[in-house]
A and B are shown apart, each in its own frame.
Chain A
Amino acid sequence: MTTTTLPPTPKTAPVSAPRGGISDRARAERKLGWMLAGPAFVVMMAVTAYPILQAVYYSLFNYRLTDPENKSFVGLGNYWVILTDSLWWQAVLVTVFITVVTVVVELVLGFALALVMSKALQALRPILRAAILIPYAVITVVSAFSWQFAFSITTGFVNNWFAWLPGIGADTDWFGGKWTSLLVICLSEIWKTTPFISLLLLAGLAQVPDVLQEAAQVDGATWWQRLFRVTIPNMKAAIMVALLFRSLDAFRIFDSIFVMTAGANGTESVSFLAYRQTISRVEIGMGSAVSVLLFLCVVLIAFGFIKGFKIDLAQARGEG
């Protein structure tokens, strides 16, 4: 059995389109479009493009905030220092680990939650949605503190509750080792952002045409077959957008690490390194270079997703 999707509807050309170009009306609409979007475009340039360009500029200098007189041009020197430093690569590995683990788990869990929400009784649905969304409404720092307190050896209850599991006892020090720290960090991230993914997937589920489900059912397809051959292929765009947004988010992880371990035991993420160079050490040049590299990683992820999986962002919003 192959996957089943609806054939794309052929786009019909406007009847009145003149041969050699666009009509006056289209031109006027395009102009109106620019006028409507223009202010937002200018604001976007001011608040995103300007800081990015400034960071790129600063990253070429040896520049300490408390010693502006000795600012000196070092070209790509900062990048060389970063890319030859094992700490950077360790941070990249930790960040990739957290991103992959959290996004995969969140996708599976989020999909299950989305299915539950879409199948739930009409009366239960609003309550269920609100309940599922609560963790996402919690501020990350607050959630990080709660998880830290829960797993802490003095204030925590986790050791007490799970003492029956092998390897966990009253003296289990979760934040004393790299992998146990990362486990708690990942758990808190998963708890907090699964609702986001499940909401995006719920929107995707709603786009799967009922006719296809019914047709598959008539053909005798089982529930699993319908899920993997009908439902998922038809919501590929929604899944990819959810994955893309979450991956970009997860790659920039900072708060949970800052609160729970402050980077101890090799749990520094790339954002944390940028923080330490820029804010703690006030080395604006070096910090900007770390930030620019982080930015490039994020661009790479976004580009990889969009090109690699051929995501059409417009389609995911139901405009396609």
Chain B
Amino acid sequence: MAATTVLASSLAACGGDGGGGAPTLTWYINPDSGGQAEIASRCTDAANGQYKIDVSQLPRNSDGQREQLVRRLAAQDSSIDIMSLDVPFAPELSQAGFLAPVPEDLASRVTEGVFPGSVATATWNDKLVAVPFWSNTQLLWYRKSVAQAAGLDMTQPVTWEQLITAATSQDKLLSAQGRRAESLTVWLNALIESAGGHIIAQNSTDPDKIELGLDSAAGQRAAAVMHDVGASGVVGPAFSTSSEDTSASQFESPDAGFMVNWPYVWAQAKTKVEAGTLDKSVPADYGWTLYPRVDAGTPSAPPLGGINLGVSAFSKHVDFAFAATECISSDENQAYYMTTNGNPASSAAVYDDPEVQKVFPMADTIRESLAAAAPRPLTPYYSEVTGGIQREYHPPSSVDPQVTPKKAAALINAVLRGDQLL
């Protein structure tokens, strides 16, 4: 009896809001179109007064999100219960002991039917350390009219080389992301994985023992493709500063030909048609298929993005927080999030939802792409790896397959050893 009283009063104290004694869980979210806030309120209702979920917004870009979370967690900030983590960040936070271990029964439930790549991003040291929430992947978008005029059969897999040739012959743009940003690493990783290699050949928790695969045959092949695209002359005038948004607006222009980008471009074009700023013939001309191949005979490994839900090791309500992540990542909520906010589900079953099929005519392509997608390198030293890549592979037109991979690998290894600045 005494114990129950103590427990109840301590829960009330921890809740801090006095709202009927139910503890309040704070979910740090990446900015979106309000979907996570809505899911938080749905899960609060579903919890039947056991807990409440409040959302707190992180910075816009994923670097900023990571920087804020790492500093707060390093200071053992107990105000964080649940976190929306961009896919590369789980290893670093887990290795540092910032993530509460996912209970095994929950782990098996939340990974059932989830794309293997997405599960991999939430796994560190063979244990699930975060709950997959939604998964993103890049598709190859094409203008049907341009592909047809170029005589490119888009029902068959296409290579980067074919795209350059087709865009050149039609004098249209091949839009990709050449900016010195995370998108460059996303691209390079997809190229290396598609060529059968990995950015990190031999992983380790010891920074001195990480072996990079940048200078392998696959790495050199990837660098060659990156250079050829960057120097092709069909990537637009400001390729070295072009982001996903630049690509999306290029693809809406009359010069559009081909583009690699995340599925949000579809929702964006639709919204613009509704707002009357884009003619509806433009999205009607959009075609989509799997990410381009590096070698004609090898299937591509498309980029993988998305968000996993981590529970802070310093949370006062770890059990409730894990219960909440299971609710948040339910198929129902993933379907809601996908149809309203345009963020694709990490659970394959969601793609059979008729509403999802209606909003995303390319749902099956996204599912197929996610099934083949390869994560970016999973390492606690991700910021060094991606920072080094961005420094050496930018601008893409100056990448030299004989030199750049070697230099990048040497730089990253030196930075990891603490012998060089980044």
A interface vs B, CB < 8 Å? 62, 65-68, 77, 81-82, 85, 87-88, 152-154, 170-171, 173, 175-176, 261-265, 273, 276-277, 279-283, 286, 290
Contacts and interface: CB of A to CB of B under 8 A. Distances in A.
Given A153-B237, A173-B240, A279 B67 contact: yes
B92 to A, nearest CB: 6
Contacts of B395: 176, 265
Interface string B164-203: 0000000000000001110000000000000000000000
B261 to A, nearest CB: 15
Interface string B61-81: 001000100110010000000
Interface of B: 63, 67, 70-71, 74, 92-93, 95-96, 98, 179-181, 237-241, 246, 249, 380, 383-384, 387, 394-395, 418-422
A283 B420 CA distance: 12
Nearest to B418: A62
A280 B92 CA distance: 12
Contacts of B71: 65, 279, 282
Instruction: Name which of B92, B238, B380 has the most chain A CB atoms within 10 A of its CB.
Output: B238
Nearest to B178: A176
Instruction: Name which of A88, A154, A277, A279 has the most chain B CB atoms within 10 A of its CB.
Output: A154
A280 B421 contact: no
A154 B421 contact: no
Instruction: Name which of A62, A261, A264, A276 has the most chain B CB atoms within 10 A of its CB.
Output: A264
Contacts of B383: 280-282
B387 A281 contact: yes
B257 to A, nearest CB: 17
Contact of A286 (B93, B98, B418): B418
Given A65-B70, A88-B421, A171 B180 contact: no
B68 to A, nearest CB: 10
Contact of B394 (A65, A264, A276): A264
B65 to A, nearest CB: 12
Contact of B422 (A154, A175, A264, A277): A277
A68 B73 CA distance: 13
A81 B421 contact: yes
A240 B292 CA distance: 61
A12 to B, nearest CB: 58
B421 A273 contact: yes
Contacts of A283: 418
Given A171-B237, A173-B238, A66 B387 contact: no
Contacts of B387: 276, 280-281
A81 B67 contact: no
A-B pairs with lowest CB-CB distance, top 7: A171-B237, A66-B96, A264-B180, A173-B238, A153-B238, A176-B240, A85-B421
A315 B340 CA distance: 65
Instruction: Name which of B95, B380, B421 has the most chain A CB atoms within 10 A of its CB.
Output: B421
Contacts of B93: 66
A62 B418 CA distance: 8
A153 B181 CA distance: 18
